[in-house]
Structure 1
Amino acid sequence: MGYTLDKIAKELGLSKTTVSRAISGKGRISEETRAKVNDFIKEINYRPSAVARSLAASRTFNVGLVFPADSALGEMPYFQTLMTGVCDRAMEYEYDVLIILADNDGISALKHAVRNKKIDAVMVSRCEQDSKVINFLKEAAIPYIVVGDPMEPGVPFIDHDNEGAATRMIETLIDKGITRMALIGGGENINVTHSRLAGFRQGFINRGMKADENQIYLNMHKSDRMDKVLKTAIAEGAECIVCMDDMLCNSVLNCLHNDGLSVPEDIKLCSFYDSNLLSTSKPSITSLYFDAKKLGAEGLSMLMRNLDGEDVTNLTLSDFNIQMRDSTN
């Protein structure tokens, strides 16, 4: 037998409004009546429809997950894993996830979702400097959280300890006797680039050395300069190419292969991010492993607490692992 609010109300001898108030937990009814309704719906295993639940709670039961519209295919392993964590945790809260593409090149989709009340809260998957996404959310009357350190006060965020992990990687390489390194980095408009750059420099400082600033090459995503930059870095004495992420590392591998250079015989190689993009690389690549799925899940939980009006403390996850592999032997 399919139960509706009307049928439940008739069965219990109550009004439809009273039943709705008991289910939603809102409105003035006696505790005896509320218990009567809740006991009955448990007995019949009643679950309100999404529309009825939404109307009763004044929520959409949707959260928006903002992805950058310019994310290249090589970046997708991270975003896909993050999304898996978000979606899995959202299911526990009986929420659905709406994917929204927005970045500094355009936020119209985000504006549409917020202003038309299609979502209850927003998670932003990437931090850009002077972010149009974050600036809009700060003014909008909607709970939100950012994945990545926004590097400004008052913005709730969750992040991996990218700076600390990069520092530890560089220290480990130096301890192995690898001291002449070139850094291949991403866009300067992305906050994680600056966190990883700070870690790169700090690793040298912690070992009483100084990074060669002439061997730091940023804005290398989607760059046609890669081959030229690598030849310059190697000619100037680099014995190891350090890449800020797996996408850059994969590009470096391809360039080195095309130039007839072998890893690690001719040049050593490592990455500040490990994903399945590098899982089949020969040789295996020394890299930093972060649990992006956990990051997404923990971020969603923070967002739900924010939505429920709780004070949310920013969280930095420090459970990274250094995967020492053949590329730095």
Structure 2
Amino acid sequence: MDDTLRMNLKELSQSLGLSQTTVSRALNGYPEVSERTRERVMQAAIELNYRPNPNAKSLATGRTEHIGIILPIEQNLFMEPVFGEFMAGIAQFLAEADMDMTIMPTPRSNELQAYQQLAISGRVDGILISSPTLQDARVACLAESDFPFVLHGRTDCAFPYSYLDIDNQGAFANATRLLLDLGHQRISLVNGDESMTFARDRHAGYRQALQEHGVTYDPQLVCSQGSMTEEHGFNSVSRLLLQRPRPSAFIVGSMILALGAMRAIRHHGLEPGHDIALIAHDDHLPYLQADKFDPPLTTTSSSIRAAGYEITQLLHAEINHKDMGHSQTVLPVELIVRGSTRTYKRPA
């Protein structure tokens, strides 16, 4: 049907012999409308090609039914597989909630100003923030504005705010403990950029487990600069394997790093799981499945898609109940032991 023939709310209400208020409430799922009336209204809306006027709906409810996400142009995040899975989880919840998202690309130099502008623009009801740094100015900015937002991760900012995170410190402490219990002492960590809180927390978990087992921390065994790329995994592990005595085990921050790590281990004439133990963090990327590696990869495991869904659900609740206080959720991380970790054997 042509858009010009679409029926408005008043005409739909007249055709059904119901008030505009009743029809509007039926279309928006209000519980006080009976199921029979709701079904009747929904069927008529489909048959008569009714579409709500988003501007009118926004005026009536004070809501845009949009959430905002700001993307720094320089990061090229749409090419980043973990971000893609995170966005898939966000999109799944938005589809179920009949909401949408506004994506605002911006240069890194204008990022803070972009958050300020989006919060007062009237274009979105709330904002999702990801990849927090230790002292994140975005959090301070939005916390002071009293605009609904949720952070994916945590920061050291003193302002109260809502967040959803995983237990990065506990996950990497458990991974390190496993290797220590298997007899490994020279354990290398290939981490993310430690200006980011997730990487700082993972490093803390690694050091915590070493201290518990009375193993001296050696900063030469840690690589904590660089991006989560296969190339970075290869270069870091290759360089660390030149040490004497060499590391007998590696913990790496992602499955993509693990691809490079395995390639580096074999490049040095060694075999993952036999000569060198390897653990990676698994975000559940559908095309990089830990049990399909050779050998199957021991992982700290947490779904980034599920995190995207849950954080959007949390933001939705914050938008609808601004007086509910701040929700702070830390999801557990599972340690799954597979063939890439075995009891330490002294090199011949």
TM-score normalised by the shorter chain: which range applies?
0.7 to 0.9
The 1-side partners of 2:22 and 2:142 are apart by 32
**Aligned partner (choices 269, 292, 298) of residue 286 of structure 1:** 298
**Aligned partner (choices 302, 312, 324) of residue 326 of structure 2:** 312
Q: Aligned AA for 1:23?
A: S
The 10-residue stretch of structure 1 (179-188 or 247-256) with the greater mean CA deviation from structure 2: 247-256
**Alignment correspondent of 1:195:** 201
Alignment of 1:41-60 (within 5 A): 42-45=39-42, 46=45, 49=52, 51=54, 52-60=56-64
1:243 maps onto 2:257 in alignment = no
- What is the deviation of 1:198? 0.9
The 2-side partners of 1:263 and 1:99 are apart by 41
**Alignment correspondent of 2:10:** 6
Contact kept, 8 Å, 1:156 with 1:312, in 2: the verdict is yes
The 1-side partners of 2:15 and 2:85 are apart by 47
1:64 maps onto 2:65 in alignment = no
- What is the deviation of 1:22? 7.5
**Alignment correspondent of 2:124:** 119
What does the per-residue CA deviation read over 1:232-288, in whole Å, with 9 as the maximum and x for residues that have no partner?
4x4243101211222332232333344443323332221133543643533322211
Partner of 2:98: helix, strand, or coil?
coil
Q: Aligned AA for 2:250?
A: I
Contact kept, 8 Å, 2:187 with 2:250, in 1: the verdict is yes
The 2-side partners of 1:13 and 1:282 are apart by 67
1:296 maps onto 2:308 in alignment = yes
Partner of 2:306: helix, strand, or coil?
helix
The 2-side partners of 1:73 and 1:252 are apart by 23
- What is the deviation of 1:100? 3.9
**Alignment correspondent of 2:345:** none
The 2-side partners of 1:166 and 1:264 are apart by 18
The 2-side partners of 1:193 and 1:75 are apart by 21
Q: Where does structure 1 lack aligned partners over 5 or more consecutive residues?
A: 26-34
**Aligned partner (choices 216, 219, 242) of residue 213 of structure 1:** 219
Alignment of 1:24-43 (within 5 A): 42-43=39-40
The 10-residue stretch of structure 1 (131-140 or 97-106) with the greater mean CA deviation from structure 2: 97-106
Contact kept, 8 Å, 1:101 with 1:110, in 2: the verdict is no
Q: Aligned AA for 2:191?
A: G
The 1-side partners of 2:72 and 2:203 are apart by 22
The 1-side partners of 2:213 and 2:70 are apart by 39
**Aligned partner (choices 102, 106, 123) of residue 98 of structure 1:** 102
Partner of 1:158: helix, strand, or coil?
strand
The 2-side partners of 1:142 and 1:168 are apart by 37
* Identity within the alignment, %: 20
Q: Aligned AA for 1:44?
A: V
Contact kept, 8 Å, 2:300 with 2:335, in 1: the verdict is yes
Contact kept, 8 Å, 1:302 with 1:312, in 2: the verdict is no
- What is the deviation of 1:37? 11
Root mean square deviation of aligned Cα: 3.5
The 2-side partners of 1:206 and 1:100 are apart by 45
**Alignment correspondent of 1:150:** 155
Residue-pair matches, total: 316
What does the per-residue CA deviation read over 1:30-51, in whole Å, with 9 as the maximum and x for residues that have no partner?
xxxxx79998665231475151
Partner of 2:147: helix, strand, or coil?
coil
Q: Where does structure 2 lack aligned partners over 5 or more consecutive residues?
A: 27-31, 343-348
- What is the deviation of 1:193? 0.5
Q: Aligned AA for 1:81?
A: E
The 1-side partners of 2:136 and 2:107 are apart by 7
TM-score (norm 2): 0.77
Shift in alpha-carbon separation, 1:210–1:71, aligned structure 2, 3 A: farther
Shift in alpha-carbon separation, 1:253–1:3, aligned structure 2, 3 A: same
The 10-residue stretch of structure 1 (159-168 or 220-229) with the greater mean CA deviation from structure 2: 220-229
The 2-side partners of 1:111 and 1:152 are apart by 18
Partner of 1:322: helix, strand, or coil?
strand
Contact kept, 8 Å, 2:241 with 2:247, in 1: the verdict is no
- What is the deviation of 1:143? 0.5
**Alignment correspondent of 1:30:** none
1:264 maps onto 2:273 in alignment = yes
- What is the deviation of 1:21? 9.0
Shift in alpha-carbon separation, 1:173–1:278, aligned structure 2, 3 A: farther
Shift in alpha-carbon separation, 1:4–1:200, aligned structure 2, 3 A: same
